[in-house]
Amino acid sequence: MPGFRPFEAAELRFVSTFKTGELVAEPGATIVHEGAHSSHLYTLLSGWAFRYKLLADGRRQILNYILPGDLVGLQGSIMDVMEHSVEALSSLVLCVFQRDRLPELFRNHAGLAFDITWLASREELMLDDHLLSLGRRTAMERAAYLLAFLHQRATSVGLVSERSLLIPITQQHVADTLGLSVVHTNKTLRKLADCGLIRWLDRACDVIDVDGLMKLAAWEGLPAGRRPLI
């Protein structure tokens, strides 16, 4: 895909051996458990997922959404155990890597090592934007930002057809991302729908006017350019 940088021949040979198989998961399946050890890393090949943390009483904060091309589980390589969980929003196909070969990647493939650093830095950049939205935007601006953000990310990996996008999330997912009650979230999304920006379905959101969402959120969008794929 044009959004990803091409592999060099040696990198492609290594990644082909680094990969040990593929994992298929159904909606609602937990891919990574907070506090658990895992011998694997993953790259999402198809589908949607999300990262989240739980409080002791079960309240959930969704941290970010995972789309095709995203690396899953890197934190466990650095912190020993996972500090968050990952759940499938839709049916998933994941590429599986052996975590214990990661030092070999860093030792012998500087380009791929930089790519992993790039992916981690990109995640930090997105979380900075999410924190700004939670701290300073109104509820309507937060929702507009979130849906525009997901639209742009999906566009970059070819999931958008004729500028329309069906995001497989519920209002509970939106509430747990934006730090709002479900009631407040419902009212906020109805306002966006009344403005002709989105159409809310039973368990999905149809993004109709991404430019309008970006204007409402005063968000300039994601940086342009190619990104790595591991």
Q: Which residues contact 124 (CB under 8 A, 6 or more apart)?
A: none
- Segments in the chain below pLDDT 70: 76-79, 162-164
This prediction has a pTM of 0.93
Residue 57 contacts by C-beta under 8 Å, 6 or more apart in sequence? none
- 160-172 pLDDT, tens per residue? 876 667 899 999 9
- How far is C-alpha 174 from the chain's CA centre? 14
Specify the pLDDT at position 202. 84
DSSP letter at 28 equals T
Predicted pLDDT of residue 77: 58
Residue 100 has what pLDDT? 87
